[in-house]
Amino acid sequence: MTEPLQVALVTGASRGIGRAIALDLAKQKYTVLVNYKSREADAANVVAEITQAGGTAFAMCADVAKEEDVVSLFRGIKQKFGELHALVNNAGITDDGFLMMMSSQKWDKVIAANLRSVFLCCREGMKLMARRNKGVIVNLSSTSGLTGQDGQLNYSASKGGIITFTKGLAREAAKNSIRANVVCPGFIDTEMTKQIPRELLLKYIEMIPLRRLGTPEEVAALVSFLVSDKAAYITGKSFVIDGGLTPI
């Protein structure tokens, strides 16, 4: 008997945490839509890795900070698959700087990539999910969105916005039996943390009770759980995965 098609879109899935989430969802038998903005070769590698392991995946190019790209992306999903079962909003950037030296352009760029993208994708994703009164949304935030971080107020504001946006979304979406939750990673071993000067990173690691960075695969496992039916009674919640760093 053929298993019913389960379609999951992961934004920013060509590398890092997004890549790990795409690979893990494929293991859970999802058809994974690997979204990317400019890293076509990396996205193709993720798709190849999934298909070589016996899964199904497609690369889908879109700048999720742009409304026209997002509308086109979801129109394509509707035409090809008819529906969407899971949406994981992972795409995001940093462009750090202290407030008094931060340009409006730098602020707007990070807010658009991190927060506007979540609004746009959730809006269009909800339209597909509401047609069948079922679906799951997981938005990736950060511990910076919980505590704030000096030197990156744009990033902290965008990630904090994702948390409160998702709490409100969960209340609206519940009317259509759609769940929405947030995952807040701390220091994870990705390209982003590799940009931190080594001595500073070691100081941060000393502050983490587990004394190590997290892995993208550990974040992916949490996301896959929240997407699964095992989390069927969980919505509107924020889950911190940071080795015990954040005191909340």
Written as one string, the DSSP assignment of the chain is: -PPPP-EEEETT-SSHHHHHHHHHHHHTTPEEEEEESS-HHHHHHHHHHHHHTT-EEEEEE--TTSHHHHHHHHHHHHHHHS--SEEEE-------B-GGG--HHHHHHHHIIIIIHHHHHHHHHHHHHHTTT-EEEEEE--THHHH--TTBHHHHHHHHHHHHHHHHHHHHHGGGTEEEEEEEE-SBSSHHHHTS-HHHHHHHHHHSTT-S-B-HHHHHHHHHHHHSGGGTT--S-EEEESTT-S--
Distance CA 87, CA 229 (A): 15
Q: What CATH topology corresponds to 7-240?
A: Rossmann fold (3.40.50)
Q: Which two tokens stand for residue 23?
A: 């690979």
- Residue 18 Cα distances to 42, 99, 102, 211, 232, angstroms: 11, 29, 28, 24, 22
CA-CA distance, 32 to 11, in Å (whole number)? Answer: 10
155 labelled catalytic: yes
Give the pLDDT confidence score for residue 190 in this predicted structure: 87
Which pLDDT value is given to residue 1? 46
What's the pLDDT score for residue 248?
A: 67
Chain position carrying tokens 């039916």: 229
Q: pLDDT value at position 3? A: 62
CB 17 within 8 A of CB 224: no
| pLDDT tens sequence for the chain (248 residues) | 456 689 999 999 999 999 999 999 999 999 999 999 999 999 999 999 999 999 999 999 999 999 999 999 999 999 999 999 999 999 998 888 898 999 999 999 999 999 999 999 999 999 999 999 999 999 999 998 899 888 789 999 999 999 999 999 999 999 999 999 999 999 998 887 887 888 888 998 999 999 999 999 999 999 999 999 999 999 999 999 999 999 76
Please pick, among 30, 36, 155, 204, the residue that the annotation labels catalytic. 155
